[in-house]
Structure 1
Amino acid sequence: MKTAVASRQARPSRTDKNGRLSHAGKKIWRSRYLYLLLLPTFVWYIVFMYAPLYGAQIAFRDFMPALGITGGKWVGFKYFIQFFKSEYFVRLMKNTLGISVYSIVVGFPIPVILALLMNEVRSKYFKKGVQTIVYMPHFISAVVVVSLINAMLSPSNGLFNQIIQMFGGDPVHFMAEPKYFKTVYVLSDIWQTAGYGSIVYLAALTSIDPSLYEAATVDGASKWKKLLHITLPCILPTIMTMLILRMGSIFTVGYEKIMLMYNPATYEAADVISTYVYRRAFEGGEYSFSAAVGLFNSVINFIVIIVFNKISKRVSEVSLW
């Protein structure tokens, strides 16, 4: 009897539920203008991110443009198996993962270091000047960046080859040698994105309580100890969040810049999943096969971000959800 009464008391009544719903409705109504500001974002995601997922089914169909998305014959995992058995599978995975890991290991710490250095600058005008200079490359198109790379690495009159020749060396065909491709790509990407990427960390640094530094100064802590025991721990959640997001695209390398940089001589080291999908879809007309490869790539990225998010939660207690 007591158990029945206790369970009845523990169970929320319909009145309580209606009260909570009414309270939630009032909160939403009070913040209606803020929700209206969010509405365009939701609409954009629904129209351009979620609605196109309907077309992902062509990865499992023998798609023909004349028949529409649902008109093709259902073939199951045919194109996935075809990709796994292809001679390009291992090379594509190795190149994609190699460029991404190289970029994370070498490039991910640079914006953090840049933000820490700029945070120590006390001259207002010098700091603004440096920020302007390091932010500018982000707004340069990939076409211009690759043109600059070709000009600077030209074997005939490029800056780097002129320096090599000054020291008695022979010109190096950087853009035609597979062994140099990953390094050229990653370093140019760091140059283009590091400055803009430091904005997030600069914002995190401004949120640190100044009283922590004042207390550390009173205790006689050096700048190095302040960095290790105050600055880095305070911005660690931001660093881990950005790292988790970066890991979520570890199998995604932008095809625009690579397609502008590579040539038949560097396919061995430069061909990645995104460029392969582009070639098979738009040059070969194999839309179902390309959709299968792209869907496989997305699923792998999704699995990686979930796994890394759990690892981050256990190690640093920082996670996306």
Structure 2
Amino acid sequence: MKSINNLILVIFVVFLIQVKNVNAFDLGGLGNLGSALDGLTKKEDKETSNKNSGGIGGLLGLAKDAFTSGGEMGPVEEYYIGRKIAARVIDEYPPVENKEELVKYVNNVGATVALGSTAPYLFHPYIFIVGESEQINAFAAPGGIVIITTGMLNFLKNEDELAVILGHEIAHVELQHGIKSVGSEKVIKLLNGLGNFAVGQAGGSGLQKMAIEKLAAYVMDTLLDNMRNGYGIEIESEADTRGMELAYEAGYHAPVMVNLIKRFKEATGSYGGASYPEKRAHLADAHVKTLEGSGEDVGRIALRKKRFDKNISF
């Protein structure tokens, strides 16, 4: 447990160090989106400037103050890390331009689904970004930043399908899959292999800085890889299940998830890669039977379909 707590602490220090030298978390030039992702830092930066001025040692003190005695990562830390991760993803999937109504619509659906979550109110409200790409994909960064591609939106047939997809991503955030995925034995071994970093005595030596940079790169790559390729069969199944529940609780027709998964396999050749269960559709069908009756009103389904068609146009 001590190693895990130390790992979490070091991860936060790593990102604080990176954040200290990055404006808007690498989101400059994205207009309102960059402002939204950066807006809450200005006051905090002023309040913590004295601690930040102490180099690595000062940042370590800041990190210690931010954590509970149990060494658990809180919503503030998740949000900071999530923004850094999202900036990397946005480099590959730039936000759509001149599609304000589309983005507003996706955010409205996402916010509605998130209300049923056990974590509906994060450090910063959920942000749903529409990324320009023909790939059929969606991602969730820690702290509530969700990216869905134009390819995925074109692939979906109605608002209910959009709701279960966003529900799946919100489930990743709610269940902290991204953060938890970093606490693997491999990362802990890396931590130990770097001599436990001796961060407590950090004076800014070249070796210590190199060690921290190495961990920063590893953590970033691990999170990005998991976001792109899946967190593993059990975790992706859990996100499917919880995502359907969230859509159900918001009044959507959750059973659409089953056919959506089947179509996804037909279009891409897999259920999402090796990290997704081979019987993903079967597992979803088994769970969705416990949610029958969700959003089945034909008139309401047609209304949502009409609303979807009006807003999802390219």
Question: Taking structure 1 as the reference length, what is the TM-score of the superposition?
Answer: 0.28
For CA contacts below 8 A with separation 6 or more, give which structure has more relative contact order: 1
Question: Taking structure 2 as the reference length, what is the TM-score of the superposition?
Answer: 0.28
Relative to total residues, which structure has the larger helix share, 1 or 2? Answer: 1
Higher radius of gyration, 1 or 2? 1
